[in-house]
Chains A and B, each alone.
Chain A
């Protein structure tokens, strides 16, 4: 422990970046100093109960469904050996590459009255409109289904690790104590995996709360669509910010669940060096059944919508693949590249700051700022827009009085605001990777290199850069893809006339030009597959067999 020093450049660097990153979210909470009674009265009498009810239903519906899909999937893949298991391990992660709003409009295209499914049914049975019942995909239930189909991998990944790490000795002990395998499952396996499952569920529920594209497209009123409506419909930024604060309140509750689960996961699985259990080999018949069951989420969450997108994209390719599409792709690429580099640079600053200065202050600051992943993009965007517009006004006042020129909306109307929001929201992703990488470089390695005659700058070159390279690259990739997929914040903050792939896909789909939306959507999905491959490489490493 070193002494707290105000002179340390780390303190200033980290303090300043944290302040900027936390500003939007902080401002959202500060919005309550200007209470908007009349708007709230109006909201309360009309739509507020809808917002709360629908958002809660969405989050809990998604939560329940991801547990139901993710847990059995993880159990089968971690405990049984069957034909195709190895490939299934990564196939089931593919839905992660599908943004929810893309899968939502793809399914709409497939299941709508005019879509292939209903058309086929009508021609097959000679039905007319009104002759039959067909579930409406554009509903709250539909939104829950869509989100769960792409979010279950959170639960799957964490539960799978938890199941994998349960030592064989536990089951042997239970057997030697005369416990049946049924009792063992409910008394040992499930309680031990519960924190991991809860953690994954909490993460999926946070995403559900944050979703804008799906619910907007399906016409379900939730907090996020409400925030948009209050801002752009009622033209009341403060009330929108207050709604955003309320939404964040729900998310904070989830954050607590996640935090305590994470602590338990650590506690349950500390220093388990024991052998993990051998997988039970299934015979061909049973193996086939399990494979097919496990494959269903892949079909529904990835293959089916992917094939549909491909179809549309091929149909529309000659008219959609043009100069303006390339412009979109280039915009997205530039935006995601800058954002990922900024986020990773900040993560490096934080990671090294934490490593080199064991001040409580820095640790707490870094911990706080990296909670941004939990805050919905809409919320951060609203906060950024309000705070940056205010700063722009002040800035223009200053430049006008000093130089008699106005610089315009340099902060709120430029890419700066987007980069700020992306960094704030995706810092945790980058930081997690950087910290994992840094943990591999033990402090004694620095000491060892110094005792062998290396100056600090040379140590950075020969030890740190080679060892951190992969972590930095994967952090860049993950943030890049997250930015590419991000929708609501980009919608709110993009500069005038600046479009990205995600925005174009969403706009075209909202205009019912589903087939035309396929090309930009497909581009996002294909790039999104990259981190899934990366993740597969990481989890494919043998645990301790």
Chain B
């Protein structure tokens, strides 16, 4: 459905999107995840038709709509957009906003589609209100309904939850995912919040500095990050230093581990491996002691920041069940339990 092929976007001479490729099949929900200023919104604007590509190509439904020669205008692309500020038309009612994109259809059809969408987004009975009479979450759902009304080939959502309360976000993300799936809409969302990305998307692209580092599902991003940026951007965790040993083993402050066969390092290379908080197990029988630096109570669990009692004084995070209640400066035994080691070399 969406096929972005080696695309770049540049303003003046500054490249903000650099050689990016994305594929979405019909009905899939994709997400671009990255810190602000990484170029994710520029990709969205290029797909919508508000920006030109400086190289590469963009195809929708297997038809090229933008490359260095072709530029199908935004109004002819059949791409819906939900804007960060919603961009609802203040002089129109909810119903008029939703049917705005249906201007070429018959009145009865318009009405029918409008009511269908109002029901879908849970705003039935609000059709004669004006945008300023709605709450933020309601405005957002009107914006969604308006963008979906003409049944676009592709729906783009630009930071759709950024102006909403934290509690609202999770619920709304789930609601919107089920609305999109109900209409079998192909969608691409942009966000800086990984929880939103996980709640909404089938496929996620982690971006930084105009590039997509990894385009895969949430599980792979968390458990098989391709580089250090993805590993540190997704989820919590620290990198522990290690050194390559013979027989594909590595040695670290927390013991020796065997690497899977996909890795092969020269003996003696300096390495780092990813340790997630749930990889560090509270174990009173362990000889490896660590001192509590800080703690944050999270209900069922406590997240400890621990200092290893070795020369390097490295810090690890440990997610322990909350009945393992230790104060700052206390020590307890830990053990590492990692199913699949993620290792990066620090040699250049």
Interface residues of A (CB under 8 A from B): 1, 3, 440, 442, 444-445, 447-455, 462-463, 466-467
Contacts and interface: CB of A to CB of B under 8 A. Distances in A.
Interface stretch (B57-65, B74-82, B241-249, B328-336): B74-82
Interface in B78-135: 78-81, 83-85, 87, 89-91, 100-101, 103-104
A453 B150 contact: yes
Contact of B101 (A1, A442, A444, A453): A453
Contacts of B12: 1, 3
Contacts, number: 66
A1 B87 CA distance: 21
B147 interface: yes
B192 interface: no
B87 A452 contact: no
B91 A450 contact: no
Contacts of A454: 75, 103
B87 to A, nearest CB: 4
A445 B74 contact: no
Contacts of A453: 75-76, 78, 101, 103-104, 150
Contacts of B49: 450-451
B146 interface: yes
B89 A463 contact: yes
Given A445-B87, A467-B90, A452 B80 contact: yes
A511 B333 CA distance: 105
Contacts of B156: 451
Contacts of B78: 453
A5 to B, nearest CB: 12
B75 to A, nearest CB: 5
Given A3-B12, A466-B91, A467-B90, A451 B85 contact: no
Contacts of B73: 450, 455
A452 B11 contact: no
B91 A467 contact: yes
Given A451-B147, A454-B75, A442 B87 contact: yes
Contact of B11 (A1, A447, A450, A462): A1
B11 A451 contact: no
Interface residues of B, number: 31
A440 B90 contact: yes
A468 B308 CA distance: 66
Contacts of A3: 12
A466 B96 CA distance: 14
B48 interface: yes
Nearest to A448: B87
Interface of A is mostly: helix
A448 B81 CA distance: 7
15 contacts: A1-B12, A3-B12, A444-B87, A447-B50, A447-B74, A447-B81, A448-B89, A450-B49, A451-B81, A452-B147, A453-B76, A453-B150, A454-B75, A462-B100, A467-B89
Interface in B13-71: 45, 48-50
B189 to A, nearest CB: 15
Most buried by B among A445, A449, A450, A454: A450
A451 B74 contact: yes
B85 A442 contact: yes
Nearest to A456: B75
Nearest to A469: B91
Interface string B145-163: 0110010100010000000
Contacts of B87: 442, 444-445, 447-448
Cβ-closest 5 pairs across A and B = A452-B101, A444-B87, A450-B74, A448-B87, A444-B83
A334 B12 CA distance: 48
Contacts of A467: 89-91
Contacts of A1: 11-12
A2 B84 CA distance: 22
Contact of A452 (B45, B50, B85, B150): B150
Contacts of A447: 45, 48, 50, 74, 81, 83, 87
B75 A455 contact: yes
B332 to A, nearest CB: 44
A450 B75 contact: yes
A407 B144 CA distance: 63
Contacts of B103: 453-454
A499 to B, nearest CB: 43
A453 B45 CA distance: 15
A462 B99 CA distance: 13
A451 to B, nearest CB: 4
Contacts of B75: 450-455
A466 to B, nearest CB: 5
Nearest to B77: A451
Given A440-B90, A453-B150, A467-B91, A448 B11 contact: no
Contacts of A451: 48-49, 74-75, 77, 79-81, 147, 152, 156
A3 B90 CA distance: 32
Contacts of A455: 73, 75
Contacts of A440: 90
Given A451-B147, A453-B101, 19 more contacts: A444-B83, A444-B84, A444-B87, A447-B50, A448-B83, A448-B146, A449-B100, A450-B49, A451-B49, A451-B74, A451-B77, A451-B152, A452-B80, A452-B101, A452-B147, A453-B104, A453-B150, A466-B91, A467-B90
Contacts of B74: 447, 450-451
Contacts of A448: 81, 83, 87, 89, 146-147
Contacts of A449: 100
B85 to A, nearest CB: 6
A451 B79 CA distance: 6
A452 B75 CA distance: 6
Contacts of B89: 445, 448, 463, 467
A325 to B, nearest CB: 41
A324 to B, nearest CB: 45
A10 B79 CA distance: 30
Contacts of B48: 447, 451
A450 B81 CA distance: 10
Most buried by A among B45, B48, B104: B48
Contacts of B83: 444, 447-448
B254 to A, nearest CB: 48
B162 to A, nearest CB: 13
A3 B150 CA distance: 35
Nearest to A449: B100
Contacts of B45: 447
Contacts of B84: 444
A445 to B, nearest CB: 5
B5 to A, nearest CB: 22
Given A444-B83, A444-B85, A447-B81, A452 B146 contact: yes
A107 B231 CA distance: 82
